[in-house]
Amino acid sequence: MVEENRHASSLHLAKEVESQTEVIVSHGTIWRTLQRNSMHGCRPRRKPVLQHKHKKTHLEFARAHAEKEEDYWVSVLWNDETKINIFETDGFKTLWCTKKNAWCLQ
């Protein structure tokens, strides 16, 4: 099950085992079993915020609009699309990996 969905939490895996086998297993047991089998939770590798194609389109936009007058920019509505959490954090995603999958530890 872990190989099919490496992002599944130990709690989710425990519920899945219970639904398939009708045996109640705690998420701690799942976690310890994965640890014994060299499966560790790690954060996935971070991706760059802007990829090359994004930088290219931003530069094209800037060059196309470089000659616009200041009056034009006053009428433009700017949106920075910032997400702000007030009460809770989004947390971070983890995935199960082995030392063979060292790429996820970077």
The CA-based angle 57-59-60, given to 5 degrees, is 65
Q: Is the pLDDT of residue 101 over 70?
A: no
Dist. CA 18–CA 37, nearest whole Å: 20
Give the residue extent of every domain in the chain: 10-71+92-105
pLDDT for the residue numbered 106: 45
Average pLDDT for residues 82-95, to the nearest whole number?
75
| Higher pLDDT pick, 91 / 70 | 70
| Coil, helix or strand at residue 30 | helix
Dist. CA 71–CA 11, nearest whole Å: 57
The per-residue pLDDT for range 10-62, each reduced to its tens digit, is 888 888 888 988 889 898 998 898 888 888 887 777 777 788 999 999 999 99
